[in-house]
Amino acid sequence: MFFWLIVLVVIGGLAWIRLAPSDPAVWHVDPQVTADQDLASGVRRRIDGGAETFQELHRIILEEPRTEVLAGTPTEGRVTYVSRSLWMGFPDYTTVQQAEDHLELYARQRFGQSDLGVNRKRVEGWLADLRAGG
């Protein structure tokens, strides 16, 4: 009996991770990037670029598997994306915002203490594609 209770709790937890709603009021916020930072739970980056750069980065991000827009558009000046891990469906949130002559990116995890560098790797890949011309 105890075994099945544990199995039920684990399945419930995995279902919550996969199906938990993503509230734009919580995640679609000003990234407040003042400098590049590598964090335990994510990464902040600031790059040169305007509206054209934002449009190209938006295209690159949407080509990432299991990534979709949570809120916003490049023409509004801010977009928040949700990227989910392949097996467990863990959500990570990346907000990109236009600020004068640069873009601010803030990628962070929702669950856990550390993202093990996943967000840094993802963002650096997008920026490398952007530098390479898409």
CATH numbers and ranges of domains, the chain: 23-131 (3.30.310.80)
- Taking the C-alpha atoms of residue 16 and residue 31, their distance in angstroms, rounded to an integer, is 26
Burial of residue 122 (number of CB atoms within 10 Å: 0-12, 13-18, 19+): buried
Which pLDDT band, with edges at 50, 70 and 90, does 89 fall under? Answer: confident
Higher pLDDT, 78 or 4: 78
Considering the chain, what is the average pLDDT of its residues?
A: 92
Supply the pLDDT for residue 134. Answer: 61
Which pLDDT band, with edges at 50, 70 and 90, does 10 fall under? Answer: confident
Q: What is the pTM of this model?
A: 0.89
1-10, 41-50, 97-106: the lowest-pLDDT one? 1-10
Question: Tokens 């790797």 correspond to what residue?
Answer: 121
How many other CB atoms are found less than 10 A from the CB of residue 107?
26
- Taking the C-alpha atoms of residue 107 and residue 115, their distance in angstroms, rounded to an integer, is 10
Structure tokens at 37: 């930072």
Which pLDDT band, with edges at 50, 70 and 90, does 105 fall under? Answer: very high
